[in-house]
Structure 1
Amino acid sequence: MPDTRTPFTDLDEFIAIPRLGGLVLSPDGRRAVLTVTTLDTARTGYRHALWVVPAAGGGVPRRLTRSAKSEGGAAFTASGDLLFVSSRPDADDADGNEAAQLWILPAAGGEARALTRFAGGVDRIAAVARDADTVILQAPLLPGSGSLEADSVARKTRADLKVNAILHESYPVRYWDHDLGPDEPHLFALDLADALVEQPARPTTADAAAALAAE
């Protein structure tokens, strides 16, 4: 008898079907970026990755991101660079913050790099300007924190004192499987003009003199 099994007749195969979501179109209308969700290697959780396809149809889909922490919430800048949110490790973050941050994948090529190092992380990209290098982010701040710097200090204090209690003064207190708070969502405007240009560090005259003296 012919094998008539399909992913829709086997539960394990059904939940392993890749899921598509988060479609965004590039400013020139030529590329579409999708968030593809697949089972992890242990088949106990899901991972999200960004793929690009020609908007006109045809062509071969190409994977843009790959990490154990997943990527999502993609958006294009006015100049065609791709923004996304991920908690992937940042090699330039000496503190090793594991909270999700805003990342950029340059349209001209090169590796993705983090644009933020918010102590509480970034929740999502709320909006991107069409004609300017400006992005609006939603990020959490602890109550009483009037700035990102104050929030960083407050979070460090909570961590040092091993405080994880949450005082609820209103409803709701939970969303699905996790508690709400103690931080609250805020909106931030980020100017990408400086972040879009990255130059390698150059040795100063003092550095050069020290190197020559060592030789």
Structure 2
Amino acid sequence: MASYILILYYSRKGATQEMAQLIARGVEATGIEARIRTVPALSTVCEATQPSIPEQGDLYCSEEDLHQCAGLILGSPTRFGNMAAPLKYFIDNTGSTWLNGNLIGKPAAVFTSTGSLHGGQESTLLSMMLPLLHHGMLIAGLPYSENALHETKSGGSPYGASHHSGSHHNHPITGDEQHLCKALGKRIAELALKLS
């Protein structure tokens, strides 16, 4: 039996965090625990450090969280068509996880939020898949049997869930985007159950 699905994200304006919570609802609809974790922001001053527990929001991800998960769903806002630096920094430091093969054969998916509709949603999703492939994970997207993929006028992609937050980050997550977030969580949880 799968233990938990790790939903690991970085969020600056809150949209990616809100997506993580929706994805968790999809995971938990299957009866599996959704463990939501984040990563600290990076500082331009190398001496600056973050507290080990954030003052608010989700806990920071530990190596143990990563090693013991039954599946991983990775989320980031788009930064020039790529994942945000804090999430990449965390992933770049998962060498021991890679050496030990802790993620091999586990299902994975990705999600993103952008300020502009054509701000690199799909390239960000694809860029987040690359390290997961190096970890030996089994990447799953969203199939077109999800009718919201045919109907969405904002976010949503076969590569993963996405959201268009607007240039002032004030667009709420649409009904189609919400549906696709939940569907992504449910899909990874169901795959983890089948693989366990």
Q: Which structure: greater helix fraction?
A: 2
Provide TM-score, normalisation by structure 2: 0.26
Q: Which structure: greater strand fraction?
A: 1
Between structure 1 and structure 2, the one with the greater Rg is 1
